[in-house]
Amino acid sequence: MTDKDDFSAALNPAAPDGATILANERARSSIPVEKFSRYLLTSKYIEQQNRILKANLARPDLYKLALARAKWIRQLKDKVGWNDDEYQMAATLCDDVLPYYLHTAIFIATVLQQGSAAQKVYWMPKLEAWEVIGAYAQTELGHGSNVRGLELEARWDPRTKEFVLHSPHLTASKWWNGTMGRTANYVIAVAQLLLPVSGSGAETKVDPETGEYTKPKNPEVVYGSLTHVRAKLVMEARLALARAVTVAVRYLSIRRQFKDKDALQDTAPEINVLDYPTVQFRILPLLATTFPLHYSGKAMGKLYERTRTDIERSGDFAALAELHSTSSGLKSLCTDISANSIETFEGDNYMITQQVARYLIKKVRELVERPNSQATTRTEESLRRFLASKDTKLYLSVLTSDEDIVEAFEWRAAYLSFKAYEKREIQKQTWNSLLIDFYRLSRAHSQSILVIKFYNAINNDSNNIPSAQTRSTLRDLFRLFALSTMETEACEFYSCGAISNEHLDAVTPRVFDLMQRIRPHVVSLVDAWIFCCTVRWAGPMTKSTKNYSSWHIGRIR
């Protein structure tokens, strides 16, 4: 059947169409979207995205299997001359977890961070030319979270100067590792290192000339590759959530359901779904959440780069524990927030929070043993303030003071840190019996980081935020994120003495008030993320001006 025979080709959607509705929504807001986009993403990011999209990323090839997409993007990298950052953006715009993800995210990073100078000279040209496609094989069929308990053995043969790999059990099989099954032709295998003298545990290298293993100055640097991936996941989580919120807001702006039961006229139009408070209560806090994820992701990236620079230039490992703890907590929280039951890329979200708890308990122990020591991080300062006044009920004014909101989150995290310390160190409760406590502690600590980073970004960069309306709306988004989180975690905020019952009762009405203030700007806010038609799973809902009804009909002709 041709378009001439298809009667639907002559049909138009009932007025108003989707494009008109979105235009009306945008007219309600005075937020300068283009300026806000440049502030949020930077002009360089936007220009780079536009340039990459000209390479026809939206062609039907993107609907093929992930491997075909990955190969095509890799070919485009050579054809167009993208650098690594541009390639990563192209992979993100493709909107799929590509088979080469671990090659670019962790395999290359491991060689760069842990390889010798000679190894880098030999391997990096091959990696960059993709003659070598690598996987990172750590997790085994029988391996949970005990890296020291890996079963694969790598025995050093000084005669041949080779490793002899041995799997003593079926559960020593490297399993669950991405890229490894069919795509990679090389692998970094983490195994129990067996030397002629003695074993050195789960390691990745040895001196081939002497057969000796020299431990790094700080053992945690060995896990720098995983920390790098966690930092990337924090950044990617905010875009995943922002995409979903963009689709939801645009759809709910257009979708109408049911008339107002209290309307005086039978001819009253159906109500926009986004105008229902029950819908706003689900969507607008998520919209607010995209921004602390964004700012915290940027801060996480800077912390990672600064720590790596300190290690490489001066051998300063001081910030490594903070980086490890922060990346673990934020990776867990941000992926949980982005999609409640998300399939995590590495590690289990409940188990990984133990690392945060271990770090915080250690900090409390150090503070108790050396109360006069100088605080070097904000976490240590917060714990010190709590120790000085831990029997005090603060009852902060979170409804009227943004500073008090920040203090309430830090106070709650410090309270749970000391509770965990008391149960573990004083009462000697078993580690496994405290796993739920540790999860809650990690969640509280990571939520406080999100609140702090969001608050600091708004206040420290206030002059660069375009227009007074944008600044005002960002502050409302900060309050909505913080107070809606506070509402969900009300019991902990009350138990620690940060907020009174009276103020907690007033949080819900305040959240509804904030949603009403933000409501006129929600379409403009998601427009600022500049998500375009390349988001394949969302159909037309990521297009800012598309006639949605016609698009769907056209798809099935």
Residue 225 CA neighbour count, 13 Å, CB half: 24
Whole-number mean pLDDT of the chain?
A: 81
Q: Give the active site residue among 25, 140, 203, 346.
A: 346
**Interval 231-268: pLDDT, tens:** 777 777 878 788 888 888 888 888 777 767 567 676 67
Q: What is the model's pTM? A: 0.64
Query: For residue 269, which amino acid is it?
Result: P
pLDDT tens profile 162-176: 889 988 887 788 876
Higher-confidence residue of 505 and 51: namely 505
| pLDDT of res. 535 | 46
CB 322 within 8 A of CB 218: no
| pLDDT at residue 534 greater than cutoff 50 | no
CB atoms within 10 A of CB 328: 24
List, by residue range, all CATH 1.20.140.10 domains of the chain: 226-527
Annotated binding site: 139, 178
Range in 75-79, 221-225, 379-383 the model is least confident about = 221-225
The CATH-assigned architecture of domain 226-527 is Up-down Bundle (1.20)
Residues in the chain: 557
How far is Cα of residue 136 from the mean position of the Cα atoms in its chain?
A: 21
User: How far, in Å, CA of 327 to CA of 325, rounded?
Assistant: 6
Annotated binding site for FAD: 139, 178
Stretch(es) of the chain classified as CATH 2.40.110.10: 105-215
Would you state the pLDDT for residue 447?
96
Q: Which two tokens stand for residue 348?
A: 């289990």
Would you call 197 exposed, middle or buried from its count of C-beta atoms within 10 A (0-12, 13-18, 19+)? exposed
| First-last CA distance in the chain | 8
Mean pLDDT of 269-296: 82
Does residue 445 contact residue 291 with C-beta atoms inside 8 Å?
A: no
β-pairing, 153-157 with 191-194?
A: parallel
- Whole-angstrom CA distances from 273 to 200, 254, 282, 415, 432 are 61, 8, 12, 41, 45
Residue 410 appears among annotated catalytic residues:
no
193 has a pLDDT exceeding 70: yes
CATH topology of domain 105-215: Butyryl-CoA Dehydrogenase, subunit A; domain 2 (2.40.110)
**Mean pLDDT of the region 264-285:** 77
- Asked if residues 171 and 140 have their Cβ atoms less than 8 Å apart, the reply is yes
* Dihedral angle, C-alpha 481, 486, 489, 493, nearest 10 °: 150
Lowest mean pLDDT among 54-63, 130-139, 445-454: 54-63
Question: Beta strands 153-157 and 162-166: pairing type?
Answer: antiparallel
pLDDT band, very low/low/confident/very high, at 225 (cuts 50, 70, 90): low
3-state secondary structure 83-117: CHHHHHHHHHHHCCCCCCHHHHHHHHHHHHHHCCH
Judge whether residue 213 has pLDDT over 70.
no
pLDDT in tens, 313-355: 776 667 777 777 888 888 878 777 775 533 333 334 555 678 8
Q: How many CA atoms lie within 13 A of 361 on its CB side?
A: 21
